[in-house]
Amino acid sequence: MRNEITIRELLPSDVTEEYVSWLNDPEINKYLECRYMTHTIESTIKYVENMYNSKDNILFGIFHKDKHIGNVKLGDIHHVYKRCFHSVFLSKEYWGSGAVLIAGILAEEFAFKKLCLHKIYSGIYATNKAAMAASMRMGWKKVGIYKDHAVDANGNYIDWYIVEKINPYEEN
C-alpha cells in the first residue's frame, strides 16, 4: 500500500458528498473538533478554499490511487518559531490499513524538508488509542498531558496528550 498512498493539497473540486458524509459521521469525527457542526457541500467547499488560500495552513487530501480517503492538515504554521499543528482523519474503509501512518510520514517529510519547520506537534484525546499508537510508530514523543482538557462525545472531560516530533533532518 505504501506506493499507493499519496497526499496533495486538497482543492475545492475534491469536495464530494462522500467527503462531507465523513465529516458528519459520529464514528469518524468523534476525535475531531468539526463534530460540533453539521457540514454541507457548500460549507466544506468554503473551508477547503480558506485552507487553500491560507499562508498558515496546508490541507492535504490523502489518496489511495486516485480516490480521496481522508485528510492530513499542517495547521497554525508559525513561520517565526518554525512549528505547526498536525491533524488527520481517514474514512472508515481505510482504518487499520496503515494509510494514516503513510500519509502522516509524507506530511511530516513535507513539513520538515520543504517548509524547513523545526517541530510538528499535536494533541490526542486520551481515549484515541489508534492515534497515539500511530504517533509513536512515527517516532513522535509524548511530552505532556493537559488534564480534563477535552470533552468526549458523551460530555465527559478527558485528558489530552501532547505529542511532538523535532525535525530529524536539521543540522544542529
**Run of H or E including 46:** helix 41-52
Does residue 1 carry a pLDDT above 70? Answer: no
Q: What is the mean predicted confidence (pLDDT) over 150-166?
A: 91
Residue 128 binned pLDDT confidence (cut-offs 50, 70, 90): confident
Q: What pLDDT does residue 32 have? A: 67
CATH of 2-118, one of 3.90.1580.10, 3.40.190.10, 3.40.630.30, 3.40.50.11540: 3.40.630.30
Entry pTM: 0.91
Residue 34 binned pLDDT confidence (cut-offs 50, 70, 90): low
The structural domains of the chain, with segments of one domain joined by +, span 2-118
Does residue 27 carry a pLDDT above 80? Answer: no
Q: What pLDDT does residue 171 have? A: 78
The residue with greater pLDDT, 91 or 153, is: 91
Residue 152 binned pLDDT confidence (cut-offs 50, 70, 90): confident
16 φψ region: left (φ > 0), alpha (ψ -120 to 50), beta (else): beta
Strand partners, 78: 83
- 101-132: string of b/e by CB count within 10 Å (b at 16+)? bbbbbbbbebbbeebebebbbbbbbbebeebb
Q: What pLDDT does residue 120 have? A: 98
Residue 111 binned pLDDT confidence (cut-offs 50, 70, 90): very high
Q: What pLDDT does residue 28 have? A: 74
Does residue 35 carry a pLDDT above 70? Answer: no
* Arithmetic mean of pLDDT over the chain: 92
